[in-house]
Homo-oligomer: A and B are copies of this chain.
Amino acid sequence: MNLVKTMENKTNEETQALDIINCLNGDSEKLVTQFGASRMNTLTETPDHPFFKNGLLYSHRDFDKFYTRLMNGEKSAIVSGLNPSSVNFHIGHMAVMEMNLFLQKKYGLDIFIPLSDDESYVAMKIKDQEEGLKNALLIAKSIIAYGFDPAKTHVVIDQVYTNIYNLAFKVARGINMSTINATYNYQNENSTGLFFYPAVQAAHILLPEVLGMRNVIVPISADEDSHIRISRDVAEKYGFDKCAVLHSRFLPGLDGKKMSKSKGNGIFLHETEKEIRKKINQSFSGGRKTIEEHKKYGGIPEADVAYNYLKYYFLRLEEADQLYNEYKAGKILSGEMKKMFADKLVPFVTKFQERYNNVTAEQIAKIIMTNGSTDMEAIIKKLGVA
């Protein structure tokens, strides 16, 4: 990447390319240099999935150990949480969700999906606990639509599976306030529940071990690593194994900046084909100002949102390399690049939506963990979730 080396002479397009590169890297490098994560190239063996080769996975913790134990037939599980402060999956979620789905399908793994309705509530992200419950159930519906195996998928909603708090208290004894304050920037005016929540999160990660699946992998965005460190630090003290972690890059929003709900720069899996194509057409590209210039100087694939999604989500390595070279040579126009992205994303989204519309209350109820006596199907119907 010579863009970084020629900063003084760089064009506007190149400046924006750097923005995207910064977004893609985010805190990832810091995890390796400051927080003890390992680079992916330290792994001698990896599963057969493009994410392990194309750079979407930036680093890991103990993935080698996890993979060896998995290959040795140990009972293994995935933990992958979501925050029910909002409901809809967006294309940013796909990095982790595609990895989860691959691991489940390839190795038959159970997946635990904690939905932190309690955190959403005490962090003032939602109005009340009922909103958290409804959001969580809608996410569960999306999880089924995404293609996870209902028989091996366990959604933990804290206000439903309240037994999680026993495990949270168990490990909370080893999580003191210094650790919380060193990890989070919570303030005195924040709820005491927010300060306690990291213990609940540790419990989420340790839950499969309580149920006999001691080899656990947690695929996350690189920016979520601090949460996992607390769990890893406390695990062994209470008789648990440390979970392994895969860190994926944080893909940019449509404007090339960090994706965020407030900026409205994401694509949601519930949007129509028309909306999606329109958004992609308006997305930030690495193309030149005119077709002539583009053909003459070539595009900048690094700065092209559509190219990045194609590269990281949809193409094999050699396909991505070829596309990179053709774009850089000006042989492919940015409109064509956008169409390629849309043509990959739209069928994916259409299939997701078809499944989503056919999910039943019974199916959702089946994947929600309860203390044993809650009639989830009735609640799902009452809240109009399915």
Name A residues whose Cβ lies closer than 8 Å to a Cβ of B.
118, 121-122, 124, 129, 158-159, 162-166, 168-170, 172-181, 186-193, 195-196, 198-199, 371-374
Contact = CB atoms under 8 A, between A and B. Distances in A.
Contacts of A178: 188-189
Contact of A192 (B124, B189, B196, B374): B196
Contact of A199 (B121, B192, B373): B192
Most chain B CB atoms below 10 A, which of A118, A174, A190, A374: A118
B191 A173 contact: yes
A181 B159 CA distance: 27
Nearest to A374: B372
- Copies of this chain, complex-wide, total 2
Nearest to A118: B169
A202 to B, nearest CB: 10
Nearest to A187: B177
A186 B177 CA distance: 9
5 contacts: A122-B169, A174-B191, A177-B187, A192-B196, A192-B199
Nearest to A238: B128
Given A177-B186, A178-B188, A169 B129 contact: yes
A168 B199 CA distance: 15
A192 B165 contact: no
A162 B196 contact: no
Nearest to A172: B193
A85 to B, nearest CB: 14
B166 A192 contact: no
A322 to B, nearest CB: 52
Nearest to A176: B189
Contacts of A187: 177
A169 B193 contact: yes
A198 B178 CA distance: 19
Contacts of A374: 372
A196 B121 CA distance: 15
A281 B289 CA distance: 101
